[in-house]
Structure 1
Amino acid sequence: MTAAANHNLTRRLGRAGIRDVAAAAGVSITTVSDALNGKGRLPDATRLHVREVAERLGYRPSAAARTLRTGRSGLIGLTVTTYGDEPFTFTEFAYFAEIVRAATSAALDRGYALVILPGSSQHCVQDVWSNVALDGTVVIDPAEHDPVVTELHRQGVPVVSDGNPGSTPVRAWVDNDHEAAVLKIMEHLTEAGARRIGLLTGTSTDTYTRLSTNAYLAWCESVGQDPVYETYRAHDACASAGAADRLLSRPDRPDAVYGLFDPNGTDLLSAARRYGLRVPDDLLLVCCSESDAYTATDPPVTTLSLRPRQIGTTAVQLLIDAIEGEDTGAPLQQIVPTELIVRASSQRRPARSTVSPPRAPGRG
């Protein structure tokens, strides 16, 4: 096969190499490398000619070559360690799906690719992580003293977390002000007529769950209300329905509930119907969710948005800045504001003098 024919075949297959570019441009391999990398003392005309030939042939530098040249692979990881035992369960939730989409776009805008990785010691995680040359990793909702973050830090891999990491070593973190968000919800429900506010929360130690639950307990103490809450494994969808039922069947049943996770909103609506409670007349509801499904429930449910798109974008930008810049030694911090989207489930209602006791499900 002639050199011209070989170049034509290479162009059709999209597999042009640096030798092909050099042959087609009539220059040396070193000249091609210098022209494409902005190095050497080349005439502008030569540099432009080489780049035009490379573009025409569809040449792209190999990942291995870039790694050798820059010391970076161009790959960044993203993992959710809270769901380690079921490593990709998180993709079923709108919040995490939005973060992944935004993080992927932000990485591509900076010339990096995003790799989704599992976050526990199971499922051959060690083999998976060891086979991917990462420049850095975003860890979503790390637990206290998160072992994955600790190990990445030990290996010198930069980590940015979605969630205040406390003493866990990260280069930077982005989070919401969860205490302020919970107080906003408590105030909203109180103004709508609630006198005993309950909480559905999780058993995990991730920052979101821990800070939100503590903020609720602190609010209860500040207003003199006994806490009324139920816990469950947040990534177990079946457990959410059971927790909602337990909460609404308590002798001290709340007349308003804030659910920290999906599908708390729909599960609370179902439980309310079973106990003959009208929403919002007998029970006010707020749920933290990014799902549009709550615009179409009966009634539409008020939701708290944590702005996951902004969080995903910010986390990736902070990580790439850490990869490409100098380490200052102190973690950078960015707070993303939340948004309370008020719908019919928590609209203001006339004050009532008593809270009706719960009744058994199925009774008219």
Structure 2
Amino acid sequence: MKNDKQLLDLYSDYLISAFGQTTATGLSSLLDGEISHDRVQRLLAGKEQTSADLWRLVKPHVRQIESEDGVVIVDDSIAEKPYTDENDIVCWHYDHSQQRTVKGINFVTCLYHSQGVSLPVGFELVRKTERYTDPKTGKEKRRSDKTKNEMYRDLLQQAVKNQIPFKYALNDIWFASAENMNFVKLTLKKEFVMPLTGNRKVALSVNAKQPGRYQRVDTLELEPMKPVTVYLEGVGFALLLIKQVFTNEDGSTGIQYLVASDTTRDGNGIAAIYHKRWNVEPYHKSLKQNASLEKSPTQTVTTQTNHFFAALCGYIKLELLKGATKLNHCALKSKLYLHAIHAAYAKLQELNPVQLAA
């Protein structure tokens, strides 16, 4: 009889191997009935797995790749569930990447990146447990009693408590609040690199800051990649500001403003550190496409949470396999798919299909 840890291991393997919907019946059939559908369902309906459970699982792998050059990235994403009934975690969220509201599970991850390996070390699901009436539309809506910025700070705090070595915290523009900056630098004693919107206000000296002579970032005459010392409204210490100019895929020119709390860095150093944040994008993509995050028909908060946890386990396995095989996640998945086609073709030949040609 498999224990729950062994069954979770099998289920996460199944999520990596599957190419369609992932169900308890599907895993049972794959194992030729060795484990019953009900046994798999009881695993998913059991105790909800938490960020602490994830840390216990991933900790030994983090210890193998940790370094002082490691960075911690906090970001959120949405696993779309358009056909699933709404509940506290499957609900409507605004997706900034798509500029629209989508239905699904909104999750925040703390991702540790070191020595070319990216491992999730903490997570929180956005739970919209409070209901209220929108004063403008009169419609009932849901909201969470905890903001994503609070989750951001809690996840970083836990990473420090877990003694994960890192110098820089990285995030996108949605987490670049003055409160988060103060928390990282003053409370956690860590550094950060964060992007700013062009309408954020800065002072160019302490003398300008004291009487409140702030200017919008996009009105400053900045030389690309040349750091300028600034004082951001609401932040109690000096920052280095750089302006990045780049060409978009459509040929248009884009501008990004970055601020760093480490005032010893030059412009290229700041940009190089922030570039590591993009490791969270393939993490989100692989979790959804290669670890079957969005392919489960689970219906309850508990089963959906535990499926999410199992998908995280699947991602971790793929990331560790990447190091062992030198193949990225998509290449690993393609290799599995090719083996599946070979097995199906061989079985078809074994069944001696009818030949249509004369």
- TM value normalised by structure 2: 0.25
Which structure dedicates a bigger proportion of its chain to strand? 2
- TM value normalised by structure 1: 0.25
